[in-house]
Amino acid sequence: MKPANALLPGTLDMLILKAVSLAPLHGYGILLRIQQISGGVLDVPQGSLYPALYRLVEQGHISAEWGQSDNNRRARFYSLTATGRKRLRTETAEWNQMASAIANALNTTPEEV
Amino acid sequence: VPRFLPLRSSPKARFESELAEELQFHIENRTLHLIKDGLTAKEAERQARMEFGSLDTAKDECRSTQPFESVFLALRNLTWAFRRAARAPGFAATIVATLAIGIAAVNLSGMLLHGAYLRPLPFVAPQDIGLIWAVEPSGGTTWLSVPEFDELHGNPPGVVSVEAIADEHVQLLIDGRGREIQGIAVSHGFLSLLGLTPLLGRDFTADDDAATSPPTVILSQSLWQSQFGADPGIVGRTIAINERPHTVIGVLPASFMLPPATSVMPDEIEFLRPLAPNLTIHDRTARMLQVFARRHPSASFAEAETRLKAYGQRVVRDFPSAYHNEAWRFQITPFRTFVLNSSKSVLLLLFLLSAVILSTACVNTTSLLLVRGESCRNATSIRAALGATRLRLAGELLAEVMIHVLLASIVSILAIYLVLPALRALTAGSLPDFLWQAPTPIRVIIPLLLTFAIAVLIAIPPIARLATFLQFQEPGRGASRSRITAVWGRRLVAVQIALATTATVSALCLFSRFQELQRVDLGFSTQLTITARLSLTARYADDDTAARFVEATIQRLTATSGVQAAGAITQLPLSGATWGSTILPAGDTDHLSTQRRFDVDLRGITPGYLQAAGTQLIAGRDFAFNDSKQAPGVAIVDETFARQLAPEGNVLGKRIRWIRAPGRELEIVGIVRAVRHRGPNDRTAPTVYRPYAQYPRRSLYLLAHTSRPRDATVTFLRDAVASVDPTQSVADEQSMQQRWSRSTGRQRLSLTVASTLALAGLLLSAAGVYSVLAFDIAQRKREFGIRTAMGADSSSLLTLVLRETTPTILLGVACGLLGAAAVAGGLGQTEFWPTTGVVWAAAFGASGMLLVAFVASWLPARRASTLQPRAALSGD
């Protein structure tokens, strides 16, 4: 059985894009932000976070820059690029469309058939 | 695990350090977070690391997003493999040495095969060149006569052009000193048929190639350089050949050569002369021209063959006496096919055996890797548990194998270049030198491809084994571990035994065949006889003068101290020269009766020849010097011809006639033993000897039977000739023993190489069998300990092990024998005629292999049987 708070496959990239769209964040910050904005429901597997970040950087959807963290440590901060913003918009629209379709389907009563 | 560490300043190094820093930052933040939640520092760090999972896996996945990462991964694996090899140099050296032997063997034989078959012939469009042969009613192929060539040249049968060559030995006179040179007489279109043009000057034209044309010559580059100092003004100069002035009209390019398969042609072609002015015999039965043809690129040889068939039917009909009214025909062979056939068996054997050696080496390496894999099993399982992926482990293993194979390749190539001069010296005379000079790209590309293929093949079983390490070991499955190893081990043992048996049995069969050939009665002695070729100069154009000169030389030789007998013959045994002709019984006027015609080998000999050559006179008398041209015609025949002529009785005193001078009857005055003129592989052809004075030829061989060392004897052969005529040169001075060595050189070479390879294969496979079985038994120490504790004695343990290994050994030997039979089949009949000797050799080889395999399995079995139960059970 999958844990209840595991991510749906293919949604990690979208959540990362959303998290960094709000403000530039380092890797651990992204993890916390996703937990925060999902109301503590979604738990990102930590080992998978960094490969996803590196992949998104390679694809040009986010950019990475070294900066200073809250505790004055050197950290790598990720921010959304223009193409990333475009992809986030498309994926959000597609997700919403899909989610409402699924919700509609699941809410269907026998009378409506 | 050691990692590939690039230079600190490189982008890759920066990437690695930043990745490590970033992940470290993550772990530290998470730890701080957990400490805030109330965990102790130690617990918090442990918890943070567990939540994160394998750092190595995360890093690998991050790396895999980077461009060129696969290159870095390969480099990292290779570095890892290097370090691992450096940590166990003995293991690495064993694998490298094993593989190097195999790769060297294959590269060497590959080089020879390439030189012999694959390298393009140095002509334009060599695939369109063919050779035209006359086929005797008996099926043997022979050259063409001048009238046949003229007819085909004038009306080419389905081909673009037809040209001919004949071998020539002439005397070149420079500053009053004679030197014999060898070359060919060619029809004037020969060079253009091959697509070649002279380096200097011009090619022959039709004007040069007529019976009455002024003498011209084209020199080879080496002759031009050695005798004329590469004189740039050589074209147009006049030089003396056979005491006649010849105008040099050109110099051949250095690349000019005819492949050695045309072995009846001179080894080295030093000059070309036009054919027509140098032809003396125009008889239809005198077949002395090798005929070349070039087809149109769009035409086929089959078409030419059909036209040749029609031509053959026509001439047999038109000239019944020349063809005995029999089924003579003509055929065309692609030049490449002809070259292929000549030394096929030797080279094929080398290649097969070296492939066997390489396979054995690969199998050994695989088994060593499997054994090592078992011993590192725990380390591998732990790494797998820590997150090393299967792909990663397989990549490392492949890299490790690749490193060893590459090192072995380098070692083998270095070894080849080191031993090449020695090999060339060893094979000089038995293999043409040009075989050793394959072009460079092929020499590099083929071994590299081979290396790669070998590495992949070797790595497959250990990689397959890896998969079983990565499964969780359930407590009850301990036994399966040694069972799987045993199964793999036994497969490898069977393959090794089979390969080694193939190599050993093939080598022994070859050896046996060679021994049989050594024992064949040649009909002449190869001991203490020295020979030299004499090409009489133009002053001996008259038959009587020639005969007087030869007689004087032989009498001078016979008078020399240390010479027991001396003589001369027109076609020396083992020299490759033969002269086929036809003999008719006297009184038989029906020229067309095929019943009473005898195709014989006709040779002219002087008195003393038989004694000097060691050919036994069975009955009658030897020739005497008074059997002169004017004296009654006489002949000596060999026992084969005697049986054919008169199966029922004595032929002494019978009379025969030579078809070219049917008016003169020859009385048979002696019978000699049959002689295998072309060497031990040859059948004994019916032979008729005539006195040299009655059958004079311009080219002949002097022989002296002596007890002196060779060099001194050659000097006085030369001295004897010079004392009679100082301007007459001798050439091709060799002892009969040298000619014999040369004619059996190929077989001896293949035997030497085959035995060396077989021995290497035997040793490799014995080592392989021993190591696999020793490992298998070491794995089963606990089992043997329990058996001993339960009361099994050492002999029953020994029996147990041998009972397990016997089917494997028998299977291996049986497969190996089948393999040897396949090798023999591939080689054709000449090398492996299934004689009793060969059968014994196969039986001996198989039983030898059985013995080696049993000893190799008995040694570890005995060790197992003497184990103390306590020692066996305590250690693991």
Contact B514, B747 (CB under 8 A): yes
Nearest residue in A to B25, CA atom? A75
Cβ-Cβ contacts under 8 Å, A30 against chain B? none
Instruction: Inspect the interface and report whether the beta carbons of A26 and B25 lie closer than 8 Å.
Output: yes
List the single residue in B22, B51, B65 with the smallest CB-CB distance to A46.
Answer: B51
Q: Does A75 touch chain B (CB under 8 A)?
A: yes
Q: Which stretches of chain B sit within 8 Å of chain A by CB? A: 18-19, 21-23, 25-26, 28-30, 32, 51-54, 57-58, 61-62, 64-67
Residue B1: pLDDT band with limits 50, 70, 90: very low
Q: How do residues B70-100 score in pLDDT, each as one tens digit?
A: 787 788 888 888 888 888 888 888 888 888 8
CA distance B426 to B757: 16
List the single residue in A45, A46, A58 with the smallest CB-CB distance to B65.
Answer: A58
**Better-scored residue on pLDDT, A67 or B418:** A67
Out of B428-437, B456-465, B676-685, least confident range = B428-437
Nearest residue in B to A54, CA atom? B62
CA distance A92 to B103: 61
B78 CA to chain A: closest CA distance, Å?
24
Whether the pLDDT of residue B398 is over 70: the answer is yes
**Mean predicted lDDT score pLDDT of chain B:** 80
**Better-scored residue on pLDDT, B749 or B399:** B399
Cβ-Cβ contacts under 8 Å, A27 against chain B? 22, 25-26
Mean pLDDT of B664-675: 91
Q: How do residues B276-320 score in pLDDT, each as one tens digit?
A: 888 777 778 777 888 999 998 888 888 888 989 999 989 888 887
Contacts of B730 (CB under 8 A, 6+ apart): B180, B532, B533, B534, B702, B717, B718, B721
Nearest residue in B to A71, CA atom? B29
CA distance B279 to B471: 84
pLDDT above 70 covers what percent of chain B?
A: 84
Whether the pLDDT of residue B786 is over 70: the answer is yes
Q: Does A73 touch chain B (CB under 8 A)?
A: yes
Whether the pLDDT of residue B489 is over 90: the answer is no
B50 CA to chain A: closest CA distance, Å?
10
Whether the pLDDT of residue B433 is over 80: the answer is no
Q: Does A43 touch chain B (CB under 8 A)?
A: no
pLDDT of residue B636: 95
CA distance B328 to B145: 13
Contact B531, B731 (CB under 8 A): no
The distance of Cα B600 from the centroid of its chain, to the nearest Å, equals 33
Instruction: Inspect the interface and report whether the beta carbons of B21 and A74 lie closer than 8 Å.
Output: yes
**Better-scored residue on pLDDT, B451 or B246:** B246
Instruction: Inspect the interface and report whether the beta carbons of B22 and A47 lie closer than 8 Å.
Output: no
Instruction: Inspect the interface and report whether the beta carbons of A69 and B25 lie closer than 8 Å.
Output: yes
Q: How do residues B135-147 score in pLDDT, each as one tens digit?
A: 877 677 778 888 9
Contact B174, B229 (CB under 8 A): no
Out of A98-107, B281-290, B401-410, B639-648, least confident range = B281-290
Q: Does A74 touch chain B (CB under 8 A)?
A: yes
List the single residue in B29, B62, B67 with the smallest CB-CB distance to A50.
Answer: B62
pLDDT of residue B202: 93
**B494's tokens:** 């069977």
Would you list the DSSP string of B355-406? HHHHHHHHHHHHHHHHHHHHHTHHHHHHHHHTT--HHHHHHHHHHHHHHHHH
Cβ-Cβ contacts under 8 Å, A26 against chain B? 22, 25
Contact B671, B638 (CB under 8 A): yes
pLDDT of residue B503: 78
Q: How do residues B700-739 score in pLDDT, each as one tens digit?
A: 899 999 876 655 556 778 888 888 988 787 877 788 887 8
CA distance A26 to A35: 14
Residue B684: pLDDT band with limits 50, 70, 90: confident
Handedness of CA B786, B790, B795, B800 (dihedral sign): negative
List the single residue in A31, A45, A75 with the smallest CB-CB distance to B25.
Answer: A75
pLDDT of residue A28: 94
Largest CA distance in chain B: 133
pLDDT of residue B826: 62
List the single residue in A28, A31, A54 with the smallest CB-CB distance to B62.
Answer: A54
Contact B551, B702 (CB under 8 A): no
Interface test with B, best of A33, A35, A49, A50 (most B CBs within 10 A): A50
List the single residue in A47, A58, A76 with the smallest CB-CB distance to B58.
Answer: A47
Instruction: Inspect the interface and report whether the beta carbons of B25 and A54 lie closer than 8 Å.
Output: no
Q: Does A45 touch chain B (CB under 8 A)?
A: yes
Q: How do residues B498-535 score in pLDDT, each as one tens digit?
A: 888 887 887 787 777 777 777 778 888 888 888 888 88
**Better-scored residue on pLDDT, B158 or A102:** A102
pLDDT above 90 covers what percent of chain B?
A: 20
**Pairing of β B598-605 and β B617-620:** unpaired
CA distances from B755 to B105, B504, B509, B552, B829 (A): 13, 8, 10, 49, 20
Whether the pLDDT of residue B2 is over 50: the answer is no
Q: Does A9 touch chain B (CB under 8 A)?
A: no
**B108's tokens:** 């060497």
pLDDT of residue B501: 84
Mean pLDDT of B553-573: 89
Tell me the sheet residues that pair with B37: none
Angle CA(B94)–CA(B97)–CA(B102) in degrees, nearest 5? 125
Q: How do residues B99-131 score in pLDDT, each as one tens digit?
A: 888 888 887 777 777 766 666 677 888 888 999
B13 CA to chain A: closest CA distance, Å?
16
> What is the pTM (predicted TM-score) of this model?
0.60
Q: Does A37 touch chain B (CB under 8 A)?
A: no
Would you list the DSSP string of B72-131? HHHHHHHHHHHHHHHHSHHHHHHHHHHHHHHHHHHHHHHHHHIIIIISPPSSSSGGGEEE
pLDDT of residue B829: 47
**ipTM value for the complex:** 0.92
CA distance B499 to B507: 12
**Better-scored residue on pLDDT, B424 or B699:** B699
Residue B404: pLDDT band with limits 50, 70, 90: confident
A26 CA to chain B: closest CA distance, Å?
9
Residue B177: pLDDT band with limits 50, 70, 90: confident
Interface test with A, best of B28, B65, B68, B69 (most A CBs within 10 A): B65
Q: Does A28 touch chain B (CB under 8 A)?
A: yes
How crowded is residue B858: how many other Cβ atoms within 10 Å of its Cβ? Answer: 17
Angle CA(A12)–CA(A15)–CA(A17) in degrees, nearest 5? 110
pLDDT of residue B267: 66
Cβ-Cβ contacts under 8 Å, B61 against chain A? 48, 50-51
Q: How do residues B25-73 score in pLDDT, each as one tens digit?
A: 999 999 999 999 999 999 999 999 999 988 888 888 898 888 877 787 7
Q: How do residues A24-37 score in pLDDT, each as one tens digit?
A: 999 999 999 999 99
Handedness of CA B400, B406, B411, B412 (dihedral sign): positive
Instruction: Inspect the interface and report whether the beta carbons of A45 and B62 lie closer than 8 Å.
Output: no
pLDDT of residue B19: 93
B385 CA to chain A: closest CA distance, Å?
15
Q: How many CA atoms does the CB half-sphere of B715 hold within 13 Å?
A: 7
Instruction: Inspect the interface and report whether the beta carbons of A50 and B23 lie closer than 8 Å.
Output: yes
